[in-house]
Structure 1
Amino acid sequence: MSTALVILAAGKGTRMESDLPKVLHKIGGAPLLHHAMLSASALEPERTIVVTGHGADLVEAAAQDFDADAIAVRQDEQLGTAHAVAQAKTALDGFEGDVIVLYGDTPFITTETLEQMIAARTSSDVVVLGFEAVDPGRYGRLIVDGSALMQIVEFKDATEAERAVSLCNSGVVCVSKDLLFDLLGAVGNDNAAGEYYLPDIVGIANARGLKATAVTCDEAETLGINSRLELASAEALFQHSKRRALIEDGVMMQAPDTVFLSFDTIIGRDAEIEPNVIFAPGVTVESGARIRAFSHLEGAHVSRGATVGPFARLRPGAELAEHVHIGNFVEIKNATIDEGAKVNHLTYIGDAQIGARTNVGAGTITCNYDGVMKHKTIIGRDTFIGSNTMLIAPVTVGDEAMTATATVVTKDVPDGAMAISRAEQNNKPGFARKLFSMLRAKKAKMAKG
């Protein structure tokens, strides 16, 4: 049976106190919307429809950034969840199969849970995702009789006996497409808010003699984000889960609570991550690599046996081969560092290629930007770059070459050559004493008056 997704992402999120649409706030470096789409994408849905409203242009761009084939439809008036799902009807023309309704602000529902809902659809017409709540609060309650879901009761409409029920509604449903829109057509808005509520399809289905059932998951999966505090709590939950998964897969973390990961961080077994390391999106660290304390990595690939840090920064496009050493206060951007090369101290390497076993001395800078364009520096294998070398790109330094300390390289250096570019040193006898005497006298005069 084919599957389609309808992801509701039209809400403003007033409690977020932000101009940014709620579903674009980030956890683990990715918008909430991407998290919702990520788990569902493993189902290989035939269609993905994202219902937008507030900040529609931004939300639609984010959806298509994750999945270029995602279809965006707009809910111009906010008339409830059933009304929101109904906006997807035209986008599902010609589709035959099950529709799963998800929420762009509910990021943690797992692929396994969605697969359980699909499996339950083989014996039920309507499947609702529920959870046992520690504190049910104002959640809607799922009223069941054995395996049958009889109705969903909103808290404000529930009796005392119904409020005592701890099985709560997540809002996620799985229904065949044709039945879904048939049931939605029967949903009314005779309620205090005058809105059309998706949970009402359960009562309508039962009244027609159809079968509804509930699948349950852990409460943490259903966490919805409505405020900055809830966003912070969700970030903490994400980080804890991601760290634990990596550690269980064989990653060494000395102080896990100080390591911050992104949704797509990949770290191989026997890699070692020291305290206070931040992984922004797009980072892969291979087995046996070591990321030392207070380093920041983004859009970078670190190969087996390489060492990064402490206090290093890898920016997008940093590609480190095996056994590379990147040391303290070194920044690498859009550069390939070949096997065994070392860039150990106080250096910026941008838009560059560094050959195997080359050593780059402290204070070296690849001067890659001329104020308008970026230019590339190429350094060969087995080359020695002296401390405080300035490489004015575009420039090439050959294999087994050398630059002297404090050299400014403005033209190519052939294989095996040494480049020296310095002003001649002149010593002026006694000048330092005279200068200091003049400066002290000037300072004393200023202090008096």
Structure 2
Amino acid sequence: MTTYTNPAFTEGLKKVRERYKKPSYTTQGVGITSTSPNTLTGSQSQQSGSATVINQQKPTSSGAPSSGINNYQMSEIQRKAQSGESLMTPTKEKQALYDFYRNNPGNKAGGQITDYQMGEIIRKAQQGIELAVPTAEKLAIYNLYANKKTEPEKRPSFTFEGRPTLSYEDAANRAGQQVDPLYARALENIKAQKYQNELNSGEIAAKRGLGHSGLAADQLTKIAIASQGQIADTEAERAAKIAEMAQAMYDRDQDLAYRERQQAFQEYLGQENIDFNRDQFDYSKTRDVENDRRYYDNTDYQRGRDVIGDQWRQKEWDYNLGRDKTEDSRWEKQWDYQVGRDKVADDRYKSETEWNQQREKMEYAWRKYTYNNMSAQDKAQLDYNKMVHGEDMAWKMFEMEYNGELAKSQSQAELDYYSAMDFLP
């Protein structure tokens, strides 16, 4: 088992770690705390083949559930539950599985539960959603969170409890309190003027000797009527002034209440926007943490796939190298065999050539001897056949005729022998 010792590779790996350095994080309530996710320890380094796999911690959001449980951990939890051993680093999820196996010793350990599956189980349990493919282990964790549903936060509606507004009657009373002193003074002035007018009228009538006459009484009556008219006008003016002031005070108070309500509503909207922006920011942080987790999951997965791919490529290379050696050896053997076969063929061809040459010589000698010893008639027939059919065909025809005559003579000799010996019926 070997690892990379190339200095350039080591330096490059350091730069990659610094570039993608993950922030420290703490997972609450699950017994997992990490302050240096990029620290490479012996337990976090798993070497396979000629490459090194680095198992790095992944950031999770605050208060998130613990990570998944692999096959080995699941088997260990079952073994310890059945043997009565306590868990070394228990979490809520592992303890739930431990209790399940403790109470159900006949169940076999199920498959692993990945980080994503663990998050989905807890989310569905809190939202009351049933599991699509439930297993005994998943249901044990599901039931752990089933009664811990988180209700969504309800935002308060806008309510305005302002000061009591001024009624028209209260405004009229306040206006009367301002106008009544002036009205009372005006009445006193009217009464004083009436009294003065009566004195002046009496003095004038007395000087003329008409103090007890009908004219003096009529004059006093006119003065009284004029005073009553002035009092009525003053009373009407007082009522109109009070109504005008009361309406103005009421309108100003209503306008102030409306402005106060508008200001309170704007402050409510401002606070709602702040809360909404804060919620968006918190959601964005949660999504960033989730995206970071997925990124590191994908990175670790891709790194593992790359290691497996490198191993397969190395195996394929070694296999192809062995196959090439085998093919080369086979080709060399085939070459040597073909060279041997070619030599045998050459020798056979040479032998056949020599044999054919020998046959041709013998054939030529036989033809020459036969031609020289045949009759004139046979020579004439042979020469004629040579002209018509060629030399080789002429000799073949002669040979066939010669063999036929020879066979015929032999057959006749045998027939004469058998006749002489009285073997024939």
- With structure 1 as the length reference, what TM-score do the two structures score? 0.17
Structure with bigger RCO (C-alpha 8 Å, 6+ apart): 2
Instruction: Please say which structure displays the higher CA radius of gyration.
Output: 2
More strand by share: 1
